[in-house]
């Protein structure tokens, strides 16, 4: 229910003033998700894989992670999609660790790192904040997730 | 810059005392239609001038990076259940980087348009275009971040926003050996990636996690081809709706083992 807290907080006049927000008097309440936008969304590319290939070739660091208790965009969806890239494995599938527990699993390809986060839902940092933090720190450092 | 100082947040209501700086406000991305995007920028807790810059985008499409990314995922504050005060997030990502949250596209959260028809013809293309304009103008307002190592992060439908914006930036600076927006990479989570493979993988997850019956699994695979974008058959819709309405039960589909929000 955490998004209900945000709906309360960001609709307060003192909060909007402190954030220099809503200066034009938007004619609707602030809300976490806009029904109008999602119901009327027009162009949506069917696949991101061509862009992935192009940006991998350009040398960008690309990490894809997946909380493994999400059923909306689940880990198997991402694995099927990435498998379609036919990437070369650099570091074979291994469990990554945090606090002597398996934080998830990871496989490193030429140009892309994939990692799962064990026990996390769609919003990984909400459900597994420490594991998400280690994932982020490893990404910024360009280092593989810890093997022990 | 003066504009930067006008956006400085002295303190949020109910906020604990912190040492890092934060700014929020609007950047116009289209004068003709009057589209302006709202951002919240939270500097790193220590030596921000040495830390990378990370743009965080939530998905939806139509959902707010302030509501999710900043307030319940990676930001420094959590909102208490009464909505009256904030407490610190021990694993905030702004210990490692300067974090920029963007409410995109116009119509999300505090981001607005003066042309109401914009709200019913948004899509991937204009969202990426406006986000690039936003970034170019944001770096003008925060010149101390020009040339800084820059990353984009996001989840869910931002599995579209993030690579599409990354491509726009890459193309924009293709001829520039010293780009102001110094994009080094991106990271996405539970990301919408490829309609066909995502679709097959989603139904496979439902079956392999015992959320649906064999009968329903076969029915969905037989009736849904996942290839035709935006066009599904009635039989496909009926199969998926039966699964959700009669077999899932009252669960939080975004986290199937934790309590659903009543």
Three-state DSSP at A99 gives: coil
Mean pLDDT, chain B, whole residue set: 96
Cβ of A85 under 8 Å from any chain B Cβ?
no
Specify the 3-state DSSP secondary structure of A53: helix
From the list B60, B184, B258, the residue facing A60 with the nearest CB is B184
Please report, for residues A27, B41, B196, the alpha-carbon distance to residue B103 in angstroms, rounded to integers and kept in the order given: 17, 12, 28
Task: Please tell me the number of Cα atoms within 13 Å of A123 on its side-chain side.
Answer: 23
Distance from CA of A73 to the nearest CA of B (A): 5
Cβ-defined contact of A77 to B187 (cutoff 8 Å): no
Distance CA A6, CA B260 (A): 18
A94 in contact with B, Cβ within 8 Å: no
Q: For A54-83, what is each residue's pLDDT tens digit?
A: 999 999 999 999 999 999 999 999 999 999
Q: pLDDT of B37-75, one tens digit each? A: 999 999 999 999 999 999 999 999 999 999 999 999 999
CB proximity A46 to B under 8 Å: yes
- Which of B160, B170, B206 is closest, CB to CB, to A48? B160
B5, two tokens: 């100082």
For B249, the token pair is 């039960």
Give the pLDDT confidence score for residue A2 in this predicted structure: 86
Q: Does A112 touch chain B (CB under 8 A)?
A: no
Q: Which residues of A touch B195 (CB under 8 A)?
A: 46-47
Residue B232, pLDDT score: 78
What pLDDT does B58 receive?
98
Task: Provide the pLDDT for residue B228.
Answer: 66
Q: Is the ipTM of this complex over 0.85?
A: yes
What is the distance in angstroms between the Cα of B45 and the nearest Cα belonging to chain A? 15
Q: Indicate the average pLDDT of chain A.
A: 97
Three-state DSSP class for residue A79 = helix
**Containing H/E element for A126?**
helix A124-127
Chain B residues lying within 8 Å of A78, measured CB to CB: 190-191, 193, 198, 201
Chain B residues lying within 8 Å of A127, measured CB to CB: 255, 258
Kind plus residue range of the DSSP H or E element containing B36: strand B35-42
Nearest to A129 among B11, B91, B114 (CB): B91
Q: Is the pLDDT of residue B231 over 80?
A: no
Q: Is the CB of B62 less than 8 angstroms away from the CB of A63?
A: no
Q: Who among A1, A62, A69 is closest to B256 (CB)? A: A69
pLDDT in tens, B150-160: 999 999 999 99
Q: What is the pLDDT of residues A118-128, one digit of tens each?
A: 999 999 999 99
Say if A115 is an interface residue toward chain B (CB within 8 Å): no
B8 CB-near residues (< 8 Å, 6+ apart)? B21, B22, B23
> Nearest Cβ partner of B160 from A44, A129, A130?
A44
Q: Is A55 on the interface with B (CB under 8 A)?
A: yes
Per CB-CB distance under 8 Å, the chain B contacts of A136 are 74, 93, 96-97, 153, 187
Cα of A79 to nearest chain B Cα, Å: 8
């Amino acid at each position: 229910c955490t998004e209900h807290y945000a709906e309360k907080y960001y609709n307060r006049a003192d909060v909007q003033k402190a954030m220099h927000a809503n200066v034009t008097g938007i004619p609707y309440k602030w809300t976490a998700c806009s029904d109008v936008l999602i119901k009327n969304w027009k162009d949506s590319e069917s696949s991101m894989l061509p862009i992935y290939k192009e940006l991998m070739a350009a040398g960008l660091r690309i990490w894809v992670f997946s909380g493994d208790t999400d059923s909306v965009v689940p880990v198997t969806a991402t694995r099927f999609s990435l498998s379609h890239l036919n990437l070369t494995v650099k570091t074979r599938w291994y469990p990554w660790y945090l606090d002597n527990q398996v934080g998830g699993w990871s496989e490193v390809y030429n140009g892309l790192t994939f990692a799962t986060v064990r026990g996390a839902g769609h919003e990984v940092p909400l459900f597994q904040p420490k594991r998400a933090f280690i994932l982020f720190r490893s990404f910024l450092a360009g280092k593989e997730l810890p093997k022990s | 810059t003066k504009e930067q100082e006008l956006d400085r947040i002295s303190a949020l209501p109910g906020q604990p005392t912190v040492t890092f700086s934060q700014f929020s406000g609007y950047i116009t991305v289209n004068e003709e239609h009057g589209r302006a995007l709202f951002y919240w920028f939270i500097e790193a807790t220590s030596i921000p001038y040495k830390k990378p810059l990370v743009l965080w985008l939530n998905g939806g499409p139509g959902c707010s990076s302030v509501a999710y990314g900043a307030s319940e995922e990676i930001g420094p504050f959590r909102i208490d259940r009464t909505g009256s005060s904030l407490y610190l997030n021990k694993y905030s990502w702004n210990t490692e980087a300067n974090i920029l949250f963007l409410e995109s596209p116009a119509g999300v959260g505090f981001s607005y348009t003066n042309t109401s028809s914009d709200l019913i013809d948004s899509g991937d293309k204009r969202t990426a275009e406006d986000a690039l304009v936003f970034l170019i103008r944001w770096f003008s307002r925060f010149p101390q971040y020009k040339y800084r190592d820059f990353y984009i992060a996001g989840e869910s439908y931002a599995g579209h926003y993030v690579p599409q914006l990354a491509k726009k930036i890459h193309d924009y600076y293709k001829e520039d050996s010293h780009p102001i927006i110094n994009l080094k990479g991106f990271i996405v989570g539970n990301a919408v990636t490829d309609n066909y493979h995502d679709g097959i993988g989603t139904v496979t997850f439902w079956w392999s996690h015992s959320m649906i019956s064999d009968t329903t699994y076969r029915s969905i695979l037989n009736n849904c081809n996942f290839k035709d974008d935006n066009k599904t058959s009635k039989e496909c819709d009926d199969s998926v709706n039966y699964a959700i309405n009669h077999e899932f039960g009252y669960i939080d589909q975004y986290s199937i083992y934790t309590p659903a929000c009543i």
